Structure formats: structure tokens, C-alpha cells
Amino acid sequence: MIEQHLKALKESYSDTTISIAAGWLAKLAEWAGRDLTELGTKELSSWHKHLVWTPTANGKLYSQNTVNQAVGAVRRYYRWALVEGLINSDPTAELVTRAAKDAVSSKLELTPSQTRKLLGYLDLGRPSGIRDRAVLGVLLETQISRPACSRIDLAHLQLDTGALLSHGRTQQIHSLSEGLLADLQRYLEEARPLLVTTSREALFLNLNGGRLSGASIQQLVHYHRTSCGL
């Protein structure tokens, strides 16, 4: 049944998302010891508690982001099974996940080799790839939070002086490197004009032309880190 579900996902999800889903469903099947369609609400609640409180092989607990990712994969499976008539009700309906606030506000810290791998992975043939490289560059170089990055306006960036003003818990002025300035200039010249601009003030825009939110920045960070194996 899991393989059929994964094939169905190919119509709407990326290979990365499908691979992650396959991993979590396999772990759930191993934990349960039987077909997933036989599990009920109480068993899935027990699995959720097991996921939250059981240390991994390295002795650490899963982050809230990781737990939410696992629950999301399992929910998709049971919603598919319900549509396919394999089960009569959704046993994940009562599963509750928490927002990973710490993950959204935490700093993006990578080693130099990891930074090169992440930035080198991006597809600069697409406007979103050019934008994402600029966003990741700002996060890595300034160490500001995702919400602070979201709040940056065009007026806060001065390419001629290489300065960037950010508003997080405190107001800061950052002196940017030549490499990051080049990425930001390319974004402003090649990518941002292609987006349907509904926000004239925001520096970083989403594909609808509005301000890129802190949650969206967190999602793109997670997506690119996962995609390049970090």
C-alpha cells in the first residue's frame, strides 16, 4: 500500500518530498509491526509520543520541525487511504503538532564547506533560484533571524556603500561582502522585476509579488538544505 501511495504522490510532489515520506512511512511500519491501514487513533497517538520523546541514534531528540514533517507525511498517507477506500476514517485527525517557532527565529549556521555546497546547489537559471541564493546569503552572512530577513525593505539596502539595515530584537547595520552584494544586485536586476510586484517596499518577494514571510523563508531554507543533503 505504501508503494501505491508514493506513486500517487508523484503527481503533485517533488522527488525529495516523496523520498522523505517513504522514510517516515517505513519507520512507522517498523514501529507498528503490521499494515498501516490497521492502525487506529490511539496507536498513532502513541507513535507521535514515541517520536517526540525517544532519542535518536545520536542521543538527541527530534526537532519540532522534524516531528511535524513526519506527522505531515503520515497524514498524507491516511488521507490518501481514506479516498481510496482502504480505511473508513482518518486516524490522524486528532494528532496535534506545534509550530516550530525556534526553528523560524534561529540563526542559519553552516561550515564553509556546507555553505559552498548549499549556495552552489541552487538553480540560478530561475528567478526563484537567484532570489533564494540572495536570501540564504543574507541569513548566513548577517546571522539575522528569518522574520528579520522578511522585514527587510528595499530602502534598508545600500549597494553603493555595502550596508544593510535589519530590524530584529535590535536594529543593526551590517557591512556586506562583495560576493553577497553581487548576489543581491543580480536579484534586483534579473529576478525581482520578473515577479508580479504587489509590495513596493519589500526586498524579498514571493512568487505572487508579496513580501516573502518568515515562515516561507524557513521553508525554503529547509527545502534547499534537504535537497542538497545538509
**pLDDT tens per residue, range 176-192:** 999 999 999 999 999 99
pLDDT at 103: 45
CA 204-205-209 angle, 5° bins: 160
Ranges of the chain with pLDDT below 70: 98-106, 196
Whole-Å CA distances, 49 to 18, 61, 62, 93, 222: 24, 12, 11, 15, 23
Strand partners, 175: 163
DSSP E strand stretches across 22-162: 157-158
pLDDT at 38: 94
Rounded Cα–Cα distance for residues 79 and 87 (Å) = 9
pLDDT at 205: 93
pLDDT at 55: 78
- Residue 43: Cβ-neighbour burial (10 angstroms; 0-12, 13-18, 19+): middle
Of 26, 34, 37, 25, which Cα lies nearest the Cα of 90? 37
Domains of the chain: 2-98 (1.10.150.130), 112-227 (1.10.443.10)
Rounded Cα–Cα distance for residues 208 and 230 (Å) = 28
Q: What is the pTM of this model?
A: 0.56
pLDDT at 6: 93
Rounded Cα–Cα distance for residues 60 and 54 (Å) = 8
Structural Rg of the chain based on CA atoms: 21
pLDDT at 77: 94
pLDDT at 25: 95
